[in-house]
Amino acid sequence: MPRGRGGQPAPLVHNPDTTPGRGAFEITFQRGTSSMLKKSLAAVFMAVLLASCASSGSSPSVPRIDATTTATAEASYKAMHARLPQQKQLQLMLAMLSINMIGVNSAHEVAGNPDLQSPSIGRIKDVVAGMSADEIIAYAAEHSTVRMEVTPQ
């Protein structure tokens, strides 16, 4: 075991042993470390471990598009939209419209394609699967072939 100052064990030692079930690091204490300190450090470590497990639960903090089916995509889009401030709702709607129009080169194409006449999240669900509102807006800004602008009346 590597030694720290004065021949005492180093507090944190890299363990190159790759035996399954053994960690890459181990914590050792110098002689004379009080058991109260050891217990306190162990309690803090367990609290951090528990908090990290609890925060990786199944409920996302940021709503995302569930593209499993068209219905789930529509429902998750509506829930996402409802949680946003009004300005962000408008940006999200324009982004959804922009993504629907990617690759459209003329109004003639829109007139001849009923899907383009009623753009929806269901039509682009595979493109925006798992995205948050901000990610959808950024994707539309980067990939859209249509420029849109909203002006106050």
Residues with Cβ within 8 Å of 98's Cβ and at least 6 positions away in sequence, in order, are 140, 144, 146, 148
> Which residue range(s) make up the domain with 30?
5-55
One domain, residues 51 and 75: no
Full-model pTM: 0.57
Tell me the pLDDT tens digit for each residue of 63-103. 999 999 999 999 999 999 999 999 999 999 999 999 998 88
Phi, psi of 80 (to 5 degrees): -60, -45
State the total domains in the chain.
2
Q: How far apart are CA 15 and CA 152, in angstroms?
A: 64
One domain, residues 43 and 79: no
Domain boundary among 14, 29, 55: 55
Tell me the pLDDT tens digit for each residue of 114-143. 888 888 899 999 999 999 999 999 999 999
One domain, residues 23 and 88: no
- Residue 126 inside a domain? The answer is yes
